[in-house]
Amino acid sequence: MNTMTINSSAAPIPIQPLAHYNPEVEQRVQQWLACGQLLVWIPILSQENFPDVPPQILQFADQHQEAMRWPIHRPEDLLDLPDGITGWLLPADAEDTDVVCGVWNGEVYILGVQDKRTGRAQALLGEPADASQSAV
């Protein structure tokens, strides 16, 4: 497994591709970070992320995603995300993304997402219009 590093003003963050990683997603996120672009993380309000919250509450909260944008100024900000919660990662000025991000036990995971029922790639606003943006 190849290990790569994102350089930032602080200590570099090592990256190891997962077995099912998508190099296109990895390259896109590295480009966002290398450019110093402001990113945002939006928690995915699902039963998997929040098993103790009633579905109707999650559906209501999901209608207010704009208010839940967590700013990511530097790569190391990703380590401050809540542990065990998956969220969408995108440039602050973008409306849609097919990139998800989460932290588990101090490790940052960045990948695409597929619908568990259909196997189709998913994005924040639904299925991506461009089939080249396949998920992992």
Is residue 136 included in any domain, yes or no?
Answer: no
Tokens in use for 113? 């997402």
Is the full-model pTM beyond 0.75? no
* CA gap 33, 72 in Å, rounded: 9
Is residue 35 included in any domain, yes or no?
Answer: no
Is residue 29 included in any domain, yes or no?
Answer: no
Is residue 59 included in any domain, yes or no?
Answer: yes
For the chain, the domain total comes to 1
Per-residue pLDDT of the chain in tens (136 residues, 90 and over written 9): 333 344 444 445 555 545 456 778 888 888 999 998 999 999 988 888 888 988 888 888 888 877 889 999 998 999 999 998 889 999 999 989 999 999 988 888 888 877 778 878 778 887 665 544 433 3
Domain residue limits at 93: 44-125
Is residue 115 included in any domain, yes or no?
Answer: yes
Give the containing element (helix H, strand E) for 91. strand 87-91
* CA gap 92, 49 in Å, rounded: 23
